[in-house]
C-alpha cells in the first residue's frame, strides 16, 4: 500500500515533471522499506540520487538539503489537493531524510494489520518474518480478488485467448500475475518468501494451472541467486521440479519455460537455459518478461552481444513499468560486452527513472566505472556497496548469476580496480 501511495504521488503531483526529485522520493521510500533508513544521510543520497562522487561536501554543495526542502513543499501541496483522500500519506519530517507513512483514514475491515515492528524487517529476525509474509500475502490476495477481472481484461486486450487457454480461474490468474511484482525487489528476503506463499495459493486454487508451479519455481531462483537460501542445492532441485511440472501440465505455457530456463541456469546447464528461454519467446514473442529472461540467459552464458537486442525490445514493451529489471539486465549485458560507458549510462538511467536498485547494481556501477577509467565514480559506488551489502553477498550473487568464467572474472577485476575485495563481499 505504501508503494501504491508512492506511485500516486509520482504520477499526479508536480514531481511528474521533476525526475531527479521524484527519484529522491522513490529512493528514500524504498531504502526505508528495505530496512536501510539508517543509511539515509546527505552524502549517500547525493551519490545515489544526484550523481555526486566521493569528494562531495554537503557544506559547499547543498543539493540534498535544497531538494529535500522542495520535496517537503511538493508533498504538502499534493496532500492538500489531489492526494487529500489517499489512504496512505508519505511525509519527510524536517531534520532528516527518512520518510514517514501515516494512514490518512481508517483501514478497510478486510485489510491485514501489520505491526510496526514487522514493516521494516531485519533478515536476522526470523521470528517476525511470518507476520510480515502473512500480511503481504493477505494484502496481495485481497488486491488480486478485487482487481483480478481488470487485470485479466487488460491482458486479454493483448491476447484474447490467454486466460481460457491457461486457466478458467480468474482469481488464480490474477494472483499468478501478482507474484512477479510481489517478489520485487528480490534482495528483500521477505518479499520473495511472500511471493512463494502466494504461488502456493495459486496452486491450491487451480492445481491444473501451470502458473502456480512456474511462479514458485521462479521465486526459488530469486531466493538462491540473491543469497537467501541456506540449502541452495535442494532449493535448485525443487525449482527444476516445479518448472517441469508447469510444462507437463501445459506444454504451451511460456512462463513454464521461462522458469525452466532459470532453473537450468542454477543447474549450470547454460545451453539448456538459453533453449528454454528461446522457446518461451517463440510461444509469446511480445512478452517483455520472456524477452528479458532470454537476454539475461544469453548474458550469463558469455553471449552478451546477443543479449542486447532482446533486452532492448523488452524495455520497449515495458516502458510504462519502471519496476522491471530489464534496464539493469541491459547494463549487465553491456558491461560484459565491454561497452562500459553505455553500461554505466544504462544502469544510471534505470536508477534515475525510479527503477530497482540494490547492492548488486551498485557493485556493477563500481566495476563499470573502474573499467571505464573513472576512478572517482568507481570509488563512490564502492562506498555504496560497502554501506548496503551487510546482508547481501555480491560474490554469491555473481557466482549464481554469471556462469561464463571469463565474464565473471572481468567483473571481479572491475571490483578490484574500484577498491573492493570480491572475496569479502
**Tens digits of residue pLDDT in 101-154:** 888 755 444 444 443 433 433 333 443 444 444 445 555 554 444 444 334 333
Q: What is the mean pLDDT of residues 185-207?
A: 89
338-344: Cβ within 8 A, 24+ apart: 338/371, 338/410, 340/368, 340/369, 340/371, 340/372, 341/372, 343/368, 344/368, 344/369, 344/372, 344/374, 344/377
CB neighbours of residue 220 within 10 Å = 29
Q: What is the mean pLDDT of residues 294-298?
A: 95
Domain shared by 225 and 207, yes or no: yes
Q: How far from chain centre, in Å, is Cα 123?
A: 17
261 within a domain of the structure (yes/no)? no
Alpha carbons 275 and 273: distance in angstroms, whole number:
6
pLDDT-derived band of residue 256, with 50, 70 and 90 as boundaries? very high
Q: What is the mean pLDDT of residues 79-105?
A: 84
Domain shared by 88 and 182, yes or no: no
78 within a domain of the structure (yes/no)? yes
| CB within 8 Å of 68: residues ≥ 6 apart | 24, 92, 97
Q: How far from chain centre, in Å, is Cα 365?
A: 17
Domain shared by 95 and 179, yes or no: no
If you compute the radius of gyration of the chain from its CA atoms, what whole number of angstroms results? 21
Domain shared by 113 and 52, yes or no: no
| Residue 259 scores a pLDDT above 80 | yes
Domain boundary among the residues 249, 284, 318 is at: 249
167-186 burial, b if ≥16 CB within 10 A, otherwise e?
Answer: bebbbbbbbbbbbbebbbbb
Domain shared by 227 and 114, yes or no: yes
91-95: Cβ within 8 A, 24+ apart: 92/25, 92/28, 92/68
Asked if 44 and 392 touch (Cβ cutoff 8 Å), the reply is no
| Residue 257 scores a pLDDT above 60 | yes
| Residue 219 scores a pLDDT above 90 | yes
pLDDT at 189: 86
Q: What is the mean pLDDT of residues 157-170?
A: 55
H or E element, residue 88:
strand 88-91
pLDDT in tens, 267-279: 989 999 999 999 9
- Average pLDDT in the chain: 82
Mean pLDDT is lowest, of 215-229, 275-289, 309-323, 405-419, for 309-323
- Residue predicted with more confidence, 222 or 162: 222
H or E element, residue 192:
helix 189-205
| Residue 290 scores a pLDDT above 50 | yes
Domain shared by 51 and 160, yes or no: no
295 within a domain of the structure (yes/no)? no
Most confident range, picked from 6-20, 98-112, 184-198: 184-198
DSSP 15: G
Domain shared by 51 and 123, yes or no: no
pLDDT at 50: 87
121 within a domain of the structure (yes/no)? yes
50 within a domain of the structure (yes/no)? yes
Domain boundary among the residues 211, 233, 249 is at: 249
365 within a domain of the structure (yes/no)? no
Domain shared by 56 and 127, yes or no: no
pLDDT in tens, 384-415: 888 765 567 888 888 888 989 999 999 999 99
Q: What is the mean pLDDT of residues 302-308?
A: 95
What is the extent of the structural domain holding 4?
1-106
Q: How far from chain centre, in Å, is Cα 377?
A: 23
Q: What is the mean pLDDT of residues 251-279?
A: 93
Domain shared by 128 and 225, yes or no: yes
| Residue 195 scores a pLDDT above 70 | yes
Alpha carbons 199 and 197: distance in angstroms, whole number:
5
Alpha carbons 225 and 341: distance in angstroms, whole number:
26
Alpha carbons 7 and 222: distance in angstroms, whole number:
24
Domain shared by 96 and 114, yes or no: no
| Residue 224 scores a pLDDT above 80 | yes
Alpha carbons 90 and 315: distance in angstroms, whole number:
29
Number of domains in the chain: 2
pLDDT at 341: 94
pLDDT in tens, 323-358: 788 999 999 999 999 999 999 999 988 888 777 778
Question: pTM for the complete prediction?
Answer: 0.64
| 3-class state of residue 91 by DSSP | strand
302 within a domain of the structure (yes/no)? no
pLDDT at 390: 56
Alpha carbons 361 and 407: distance in angstroms, whole number:
16
Domain shared by 200 and 153, yes or no: yes
Domain boundary among the residues 51, 71, 106 is at: 106
| Residue 254 scores a pLDDT above 90 | yes
274 within a domain of the structure (yes/no)? no
Domain shared by 74 and 32, yes or no: yes
Mean pLDDT is lowest, of 39-43, 145-149, 224-228, for 145-149
Place of cell 530496512: 35
Amino acid at each position: 500500500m505504501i508503494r501504491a501511495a508512492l506511485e500516486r504521488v509520482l504520477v499526479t503531483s508536480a514531481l511528474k515533471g521533476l525526475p531527479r526529485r521524484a527519484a529522491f522520493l522513490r529512493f528514500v521510500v524504498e531504502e526505508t522499506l528495505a530496512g536501510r533508513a539508517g543509511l539515509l544521510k546527505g552524502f549517500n543520497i547525493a551519490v545515489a540520487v544526484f550523481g555526486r562522487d566521493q569528494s562531495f561536501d554537503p557544506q559547499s554543495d547543498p543539493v540534498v538539503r535544497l531538494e529535500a526542502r522542495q520535496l517537503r513543499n511538493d508533498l504538502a501541496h499534493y496532500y492538500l489537493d489531489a492526494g487529500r483522500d489517499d489512504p496512505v500519506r508519505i511525509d519527510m519530517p524536517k531534520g532528516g531524510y527518512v520518510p514517514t507513512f501515516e494512514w490518512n483514514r481508517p483501514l478497510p475491515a478486510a485489510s491485514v494489520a501489520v505491526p510496526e515492528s514487522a514493516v521494516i524487517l531485519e533478515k536476522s529476525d526470523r521470528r517476525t518474518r511470518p507476520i510480515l509474509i502473512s500480511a503481504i500475502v493477505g494484502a496481495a490476495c485481497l488486491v488480486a480478488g478485487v482487481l483480478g477481472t481488470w487485470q485479466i481484461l487488460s491482458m486479454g486486450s493483448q491476447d484474447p485467448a490467454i486466460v481460457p487457454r491457461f486457466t478458467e480461474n480468474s482469481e488464480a490468474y490474477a494472483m499468478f500475475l501478482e507474484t512477479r511484482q510481489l517478489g520485487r525487489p528480490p534482495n528483500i528476503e521477505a518479499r520473495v518468501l511472500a511471493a512463494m506463499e502466494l504461488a502456493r495459493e495459486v496452486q491450491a486454487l487451480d492445481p491444473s494451472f501451470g502458473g502456480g508451479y512456474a511462479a514458485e519455481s521462479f521465486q526459488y531462483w530469486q531466493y538462491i541467486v540473491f543469497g537467501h537460501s541456506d540449502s541452495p542445492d535442494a532449493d535448485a532441485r525443487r525449482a527444476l521440479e516445479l518448472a517441469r511440472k508447469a510444462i507437463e501440465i501445459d506444454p504451451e505455457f511460456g512462463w513454464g519455460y521461462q522458469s525452466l530456463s532459470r532453473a537450468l541456469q542454477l543447474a549450470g546447464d547454460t545451453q539448456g537455459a538459453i533453449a528454454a528461454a528461446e522457446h518461451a519467446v517463440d510461444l509469446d514473442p511480445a512478452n517483455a518478461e520472456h524477452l528479458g529472461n532470454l537476454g539475461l540467459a544469453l548474458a550469463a552464458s558469455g553471449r552478451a552481444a546477443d543479449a542486447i537486442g532482446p533486452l532492448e525490445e523488452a524495455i520497449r514493451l515495458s516502458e510504462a513499468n519502471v519496476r522491471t529489471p530489464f534496464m539493469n539486465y541491459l547494463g549487465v549485458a553491456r558491461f560484459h560486452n565491454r561497452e562500459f560507458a553505455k553500461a554505466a549510462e544504462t544502469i544510471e538511467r534505470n536508477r534515475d527513472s525510479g527503477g530497482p536498485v540494490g547492492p548488486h547494481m551498485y557493485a556493477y556501477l563500481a566495476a563499470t566505472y573502474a573499467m571505464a577509467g573513472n576512478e572517482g565514480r568507481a570509488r563512490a559506488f564502492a562506498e555504496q556497496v560497502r554501506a548496503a551489502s551487510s546482508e547481501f553477498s555480491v560474490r554469491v550473487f555473481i557466482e549464481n548469476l554469471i556462469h561464463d568464467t571469463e565474464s565473471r572474472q572481468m567483473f571481479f577485476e572491475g571490483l578490484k580496480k574500484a577498491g573492493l575485495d570480491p572475496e569479502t563481499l
